[in-house]
Structure 1
Amino acid sequence: MKRIALLACAVALVAAAAGCGPAQAGDGDLVDDWAMLAAAKVPEPAAGACWTTTATNVGDLGDVVLSQQPCDMDHVVETVSVGHFTGDAAKGSSRPKGAALAAAWTDCDKAVGDYLGGEWQSARVFVVVNPPSDRQWDGGARFYRCDIGALRSEAGTLEPRKATMKGAVAGDLKLGCGTLVGTTQNSWDDITPASCTDPHDAEYVGTVSSPVKEYPADEKAYDAAFGKSCETKMLSYIGMSHTSWGSQKALYYGYWMTGDEDEWAAGNHSARCYAMIDKKKINRSLKGAGDGQV
């Protein structure tokens, strides 16, 4: 019985209860000597984080949850940098979207260009400004992620990678020649990458940004926003005069916008311009080709 009593006293000491040893001095207040707990805070992401998802197309990314993944494993999104909303954008009751993302878009556009080593539109790349989720926003989060991902083609199919996209503008994602998919009289469904020495009917010639404020609502508005500037970009790329351009039988140009209506409102008015060839394919680049018939 004595041994049992000693064990009971040892347990009581661990629990810091009175009755198993001499009384300890104190002020009798059990609360005032404890530090206050820090306020709860939503964890912030870090630049360099990589993410995976069940989505297969960039258009579906807004409907799925991204899971962080080691960058040497298959991932579809990389966080280039992390910024913070300020001013009116930080005061809203809900996370910013559309025009309220303008300052964040400008920041991300520059950060992504620095990360990729050049104009991001010249590579098979998409850019997303990711504000906090609704729950994170309600919890006080005011950060945004500048995210990028690789594309297999213009139609937005995601391309998982095990390697970083840093410097990709000059690497394997650089836009060049391609093959038109699903062509009709006035449109096409996709442009898939192709070597310029293999048969192809499209070639990237540069990116333009439209000064038009309103998002293009129809074919006429699209042409007003990008047509003339893409024509100029194509002729400069080929080194072709307007006189020769007027006599071409197979050559024309096209453009592919890099963002949707919300991104347009945030400030992304860019489109990729392509030289295109009607009803035939060639196996050479048009860059610097001059005034000859295509």
Structure 2
Amino acid sequence: MKRWTVGLSVTAVLLAAGCGKPAGTDGDLVNGWSALAAPAVPKPSAGECWTFKGAADKLVVGPELVEVECTASHSSETVHVGEFSGALAQQTSVPAGAELIDAFAACQTQANDFLGGDWHDGRLVLRVLPPSEKQWKGAAHYYRCDLVEVSDDTNTIAPRTTSLKDTLRGNRPIEIGCVKVETDSGGGIEDFVPAKCETLHNGEYAGTFYSPDARPYPSDSGARRALLQPGCKTIVARYLGLTEAQFTENKQFSFAWSTASPTRWSYGDRTARCYLMLEGNLSVSRSLRGNGNAPI
């Protein structure tokens, strides 16, 4: 105990001796330095490209989304980065669903300008991506708009090594065009796979139908058909150069559509891609745009 007491006393003396200010100092340890800024979540920028795994509709922010050079193989390209504002920016949870309507509308405007046409006309998926919960809590209140090229209507990613900029201008290399309609054993449609029009195919993209109002996703198949069938019929008939009555009478043709998912519908993508289809075993090796009633 004596040795402990002595040792403590010596230490106390040494500490006391060190309490004086060195010559030429004011005793302020930070010496007027400003405080370090709070760490910020890195913000993405338009023009960046990324890799990730899975289908395009699985694209989310997180560790699997890795930035790469746009000249390297990549899965998505950021075309715009915006900021949430007002009440959305103040809430504690990340905006989702209908809260993304304004952000998605901005993404569509930016994407269409970037591409040179409506992104629905291309082999593309447009995603609006808010931050992760962790990033949001770190005051990252931005959203990003990413375009992904796909190889079919089930959103299988088609990796690229060049930018998508202007790909719906000029000869429109990313345009959907002709397709092969894949069906199951019962005749149900499984996929629309893009094909070169000079190869045999049995379908063709005719245009996109937009819901005339902001109604919720028609979860009932009958309600969905009542909304989408008349719209797509008009688009397909016009594509062929026929009136709707003429189209109804022509036994060579039918049509189908691919609807945006309920999630996408909730944030403003209230659309269906409309496809012209050939009946039975008919196929062609040319475009049917303006075909009218000419035989196949």
Q: After TM superposition, is the score higher than 0.5?
A: yes
Stretches of structure 2 lacking an aligned partner (at least 5 in a row) = 1-17
> Moved runs in structure 1, 4+ residues, more than 6 A?
none
For 1:124 and 1:176, locate their aligned partners in 2 and report how far apart those are by CA, in whole Å: 9
Structure 1 match to 2:198: 197
How far the C-alpha of 1:63 sits from its partner, in A, is 8.5
For 2:262 and 2:31, locate their aligned partners in 1 and report how far apart those are by CA, in whole Å: 56
For 1:202 and 1:81, locate their aligned partners in 2 and report how far apart those are by CA, in whole Å: 33
Q: CA 1:241/1:291 → structure 2, altered by over 3 Å: closer, same or farther?
A: farther
Structure 2 match to 1:267: 268
CA contact 1:97–1:262 (8 Å) conserved in 2: no
Structure 2 match to 1:34: 33
Equivalent AA in structure 1 for residue 174 of structure 2: L
Q: Could you tell me which of 43, 47, 59 is aligned with 1:61?
A: 59
Q: Secondary structure at the match of 2:57?
A: helix
How far the C-alpha of 1:29 sits from its partner, in A, is 2.0
How far the C-alpha of 1:220 sits from its partner, in A, is 1.3
Q: Secondary structure at the match of 2:103?
A: helix
How far the C-alpha of 1:197 sits from its partner, in A, is 2.2
How far the C-alpha of 1:195 sits from its partner, in A, is 1.8
Correspondence list, 1:113-132, <5 A: 113-132=112-131
**1:210 matches 2:211:** yes
**1:225 matches 2:223:** no
For 2:76 and 2:190, locate their aligned partners in 1 and report how far apart those are by CA, in whole Å: 24
Q: Secondary structure at the match of 1:169?
A: coil
Structure 2 match to 1:85: 84
Q: CA 1:204/1:217 → structure 2, altered by over 3 Å: closer, same or farther?
A: same
Q: How many residues align?
A: 272
Q: CA 1:87/1:255 → structure 2, altered by over 3 Å: closer, same or farther?
A: same
User: Identity rate of aligned residues, in percent?
Assistant: 35
Q: Secondary structure at the match of 2:144?
A: strand
Question: Normalising by the residue count of structure 2, what TM-score does the alignment of the two structures yield?
Answer: 0.86
For 1:287 and 1:227, locate their aligned partners in 2 and report how far apart those are by CA, in whole Å: 20
Tell me the alpha carbon deviations over residues 236-284 of structure 1, each in whole angstroms, 9 at most, x when there is no partner: 1111123322322231111112x32122111110111111012221222
For 2:61 and 2:156, locate their aligned partners in 1 and report how far apart those are by CA, in whole Å: 15
Correspondence list, 1:85-104, <5 A: 85-104=84-103
For 2:250 and 2:74, locate their aligned partners in 1 and report how far apart those are by CA, in whole Å: 44
**1:147 matches 2:149:** no
| Structural RMSD (CA) | 2.0
Q: Secondary structure at the match of 2:125?
A: strand
Q: CA 1:184/1:273 → structure 2, altered by over 3 Å: closer, same or farther?
A: farther
Correspondence list, 1:168-187, <5 A: 168-170=167-169, 171-183=172-184, 187=188
